[in-house]
Structure 1
Amino acid sequence: MKRPLLITLALILGFTTTQAQQDSLMLRKIYDEALVNGQSYQNLRYLCKNIGGRLSGSANAQKAVEWGKKLMEGYGFDKVFLQEVMVPHWERGAKEVGYIINGSKKIPVKLCALGMAVATPPQGITASVIEVHSLAELATLGEKAIKGKIVFFNRPFDPRFIQTLAAYGTAGDQRRAGPSAAAKYGAVGVIVRSLTESNDDYPHTGATLYTDDAPKIPAAALSVKAANQLSALLKSHPVKFYFKQNCRQLPDALSYNVIGEMTGSEHPNRFITFGGHLDSWDLAEGAHDDGTGVIQGLEALRVLKATGYRPKNSLRAVFFMNEENGDRGGLKYAELGDKNKEEHIAAIESDLGGFTPRGFSFDGPSTVQMQSINHNWKKLLEPYDADKLIVGGSGSDIEPLRKYYPKAALIGFLPDSQRYFDVHHTPNDVFENVNKRELELGAAAIASLVYLIDMRGI
């Protein structure tokens, strides 16, 4: 081998080693700042306890927007601004009532209206119940068996999935599409088993999607305990069910995405986005869904600024509005990015709770690209237990970017998933169920990946 080639290889190896050392030191600085001087937990406490649930279009959602903007301005980011977005405005109304009618006996059950559902008549609905386990089963039963009845969708989570998000995905169609599917066969109402594996008495809300080709019928979620009780009774004899809900759909309301930015020193019009959704359901405080996500995005930007880091590309922490019942914030963010001729190279979404970090999922890279990602970053993230780098989904708020930026890296933050659906969309999604250290570790993991993308590309 010729001497000049040996020298060149030695220089390359030396540069690579120096680069790895630099990255390792920076990640240590990021974690030290997040764990020693972290502000994520106190910010989440304020959001949950001083503002609370933040359903799109509500007064609380507007309070959260104003608070988020003021907080970002206090951190001295280069830019803080709002993006206008019109959002659905649905209200739950007075607390729902429901019970099983077993002969002359009325058995009260825990239930809640599905998001975007219509109200029952003022007197409520009473009808016989027919239990099904899939949308396909409706077609086999037909109108003769279903007309005039309340359809009870009772497909549980499949416990064989190690990642609980997969179980949620396979059970979720009965909540999203069940009411309209049942209405086509003449059902007068729908009740759905809550989307969780936990055998508890918390009903889980979440959006349902009415279609234009079927009547809109009332739809509610039963707690798992109530669903099991109803199913057991139906196995022995027919029973009826009664429920009353008072929800209503109001005209769309003006709301906002909240954005804080550190402007890039080399590529100010090239962006790396990270964050979560500011809106939440109204049953609790929206702590894990998705208070932790917006706070982790904010903390990641604060941490990078606190370390003195000067990004090459512009970094944005985004509080998206209206993920839960419309995705309007994510759609608007992508649309305005294209309109303003911005270049978006990567986006990270945190919307699976603030539990112990495991790593990140990358939406759509090839096997070779995934091998490269693991080769470059796995060892750096390994000391922090955030090194699970896999192909997977990203998040509904950043997915609209794909339309305008097909080459952008869309990434989902992956915390441990085992406890998320214990609290997801329930009255139990409160600040007290978030662990301070897990929240801080997640913010540091996101900040670390943002740094690596900014410095090294993807």
Structure 2
Amino acid sequence: MQILKPAVLLYFLFISFCVTSQSDEDVIKTIYSQSLTNGKSYDWLNYLSNQIGGRLSGSLNAEKAVAYTKEELDKLGLDKVWLQPVMVPKWVRGIKEYAFIETPNGQTTIVNICALGGSVATPSLGLKANIIEVKNFEELEALGKEKIEGKIVFYNRPMQADLINTFEAYGGCVNQRYSGAMEASKYGAVGVIVRSMNLRLDDYPHTGSMGYEDLPNDKRIPSAAISTNDGELLSTMLQLDNSIKFYFKQSCKQLKDVQSYNVIGEITGSEYPNEYIIVGGHLDSWDLGDGSHDDGAGVVQSMDVLRLLKESGVRPKRSIRVVLFMNEENGLRGGKKYAEVAKQKNENHVFALESDSGGFTPRGFSFDCNDASFNQVLNWKPLFKPYLIHYFEKGGSGADVGPLKTETNVLAGLRPDSQRYFDHHHASNDTFDAVNKRELELGAATMTALVYLFDKYGVNPITNKGTIKK
């Protein structure tokens, strides 16, 4: 056991005294100052994105990301850092996809597509058939097997542009991506093309998970996303001539599950070590870009929360963990495994915060909690006003922390400005250059401030009203 020298011990006691005697406003100001002048999140993201790249579950890059983030957490001098094993699916894309539209006179127009995650491949020589456009599953059912059998179904329902909450717009059309192939297969379709989940018109196809549920292997049909520009083109051409054909070729495949890891670091609580607060993001990403916004940003912000608490002289009362979840994108295995182990150990998770909405300017948080806990949070709202953080609403939290939900705890999600998020989401332009350093660091500080308050006041407003210390 290492014995601290008297001078060093006195220094840490002095820092601890200064922090405990400070007002909440002063502590939060220190946190923001540390993040904006001495942040690590941007440097970590630079390495994760540019030296490692896309981190598809089960891939070599995912393994590299596990090793890198564990190494960086080890350097922070946390009380514990460990890897939590979890079995994850391994889907591989294969060679780049290829597609074109063919008119009756044989003219072809190449279009931009990408296989959806989890899809089966086309035949080795590709797949060509007439194509039929629908907006939803109701139109599919109305057309029936007679008009669909042997054709490729084109789902062309765009995200609703007049919804300010872009995640609501995404939720309104994502079922065609996930379940489109399964539904079209019922009517004898041979393939599926889905309009990318993107609010702007561009040439980037956006991947994402899709599933067949319990559909037999011989009924599973290939599914790909088409860019919004090319989706518009395809729709226009179909209106002019519905006899055109579509060709696409993809060589993706699903392999056996492989072992991966959640990466976990902890500062053990000084007063309530058996009450856990976690902050996290998902370490895996899709493979088209380098996953900077989804969710490299959330990973490095979460890592920096623990570092910023230490640098700001905060000694947590409760145990604070950073959890870098594996396999959020195509299975949620990491989040489920963490919750399963926590339940086995009877761990009391009082608060969990997830960042998985990109590294844009933070606007606030959404909370999954009871009314009493939410009223406690609203009491802290004035502390965030100087930093232009104004969005405090009840709602969802995050996919990975969701399995931890109980009747009494609080789950939350960081809510950055989302207007540009779906320009990059699951596409090849989700790259490091699209992340602004200051916006990323503001998000890390905002998360740290909320963790600080929950650690200080707990989550039970009946016994502790979360009174702001002036």
Fold in common (TM above 0.5): yes
Partner of 2:221: 217
- On the 8 A contact 2:124/2:249 being kept in 1, the answer is yes
Q: For 2:234, what is the secondary structure of its paired residue?
A: helix
Partner of 2:463: none
Between 71-80 and 384-393, report the one with greater CA deviation.
384-393
> How many Å apart are 1:160 and its aligned residue?
1.4
Partner of 2:5: none
Q: How many residues matched?
A: 437
> How many Å apart are 1:21 and its aligned residue?
6.4
Cα deviations across residues 399-447 of structure 1 (Å, max 9, x unaligned)?
0112xx3322010100000000000000000000000000000000000
- Counterpart residue type for residue 94 of structure 1: I
Is structure 2 residue 88 aligned with structure 1 residue 99?
no
2: CA distance between counterparts of 1:99 and 1:422?
Answer: 23
Partner of 1:12: none
| Alignment equivalent of 2:197, drawn from 190, 195, 208 | 195
Q: For 2:89, what is the secondary structure of its paired residue?
A: strand
2: CA distance between counterparts of 1:171 and 1:19?
Answer: 49
| Alignment equivalent of 2:383, drawn from 369, 380, 384 | 380
Is structure 2 residue 57 aligned with structure 1 residue 56?
yes
Cα deviations across residues 296-352 of structure 1 (Å, max 9, x unaligned)?
000111100112211011001111000000000000000000111211001000000
1: CA distance between counterparts of 2:256 and 2:303?
Answer: 31
Question: Any unmatched runs of 5+ in structure 1?
Answer: 1-17
1: CA distance between counterparts of 2:185 and 2:197?
Answer: 21
1: CA distance between counterparts of 2:215 and 2:58?
Answer: 27
Partner of 1:10: none
1:70-85 aligned within 5 A: 70-85=71-86
Cα deviations across residues 351-392 of structure 1 (Å, max 9, x unaligned)?
0000000000001432x5433321x21100111112311011
1:11-90 aligned within 5 A: 22-90=23-91
1:120-131 aligned within 5 A: 120-131=122-133
1:128-207 aligned within 5 A: 128-207=130-209
Instruction: Give identity over the alignment, percent.
Output: 54
2: CA distance between counterparts of 1:155 and 1:443?
Answer: 35
> How many Å apart are 1:268 and its aligned residue?
1.1
- On the 8 A contact 2:360/2:416 being kept in 1, the answer is yes
- On the 8 A contact 2:131/2:153 being kept in 1, the answer is yes
- On the 8 A contact 2:115/2:223 being kept in 1, the answer is yes
2: CA distance between counterparts of 1:389 and 1:356?
Answer: 15
- On the 8 A contact 2:155/2:192 being kept in 1, the answer is yes
> How many Å apart are 1:59 and its aligned residue?
0.4
| Alignment equivalent of 2:356, drawn from 342, 351, 355 | 351
Partner of 1:313: 318
2: CA distance between counterparts of 1:27 and 1:379?
Answer: 12
1: CA distance between counterparts of 2:291 and 2:117?
Answer: 14
1:219-258 aligned within 5 A: 219-238=223-242, 239-258=244-263
2: CA distance between counterparts of 1:203 and 1:267?
Answer: 48
Partner of 2:276: 271
TM-score (norm 2): 0.91
2: CA distance between counterparts of 1:213 and 1:117?
Answer: 12
Please provide the CA RMSD for this pair.
1.3
1: CA distance between counterparts of 2:178 and 2:97?
Answer: 19
* TM superposition outliers: structure 1 runs of 4+ over 2 Å: 18-21, 368-372
Q: Residues 19 and 263 from structure 1, CA distance in 2 versus in 1: closer, same or farther, beyond 3 angstroms?
A: closer
2: CA distance between counterparts of 1:384 and 1:78?
Answer: 31
Q: For 1:298, what is the secondary structure of its paired residue?
A: helix
2: CA distance between counterparts of 1:78 and 1:236?
Answer: 66
Partner of 1:398: 401
- Counterpart residue type for residue 430 of structure 1: T
Q: For 1:200, what is the secondary structure of its paired residue?
A: coil
Cα deviations across residues 89-128 of structure 1 (Å, max 9, x unaligned)?
0000000000001121110000000001000010110000
Q: For 1:400, what is the secondary structure of its paired residue?
A: helix
TM-score (norm 1): 0.94
- On the 8 A contact 2:176/2:194 being kept in 1, the answer is yes
Q: For 2:313, what is the secondary structure of its paired residue?
A: coil
- On the 8 A contact 2:90/2:255 being kept in 1, the answer is yes
Cα deviations across residues 161-196 of structure 1 (Å, max 9, x unaligned)?
101000000010000111100001100000000001
Question: Any unmatched runs of 5+ in structure 2?
Answer: 1-18, 460-470
- Counterpart residue type for residue 32 of structure 1: S
2: CA distance between counterparts of 1:346 and 1:334?
Answer: 13
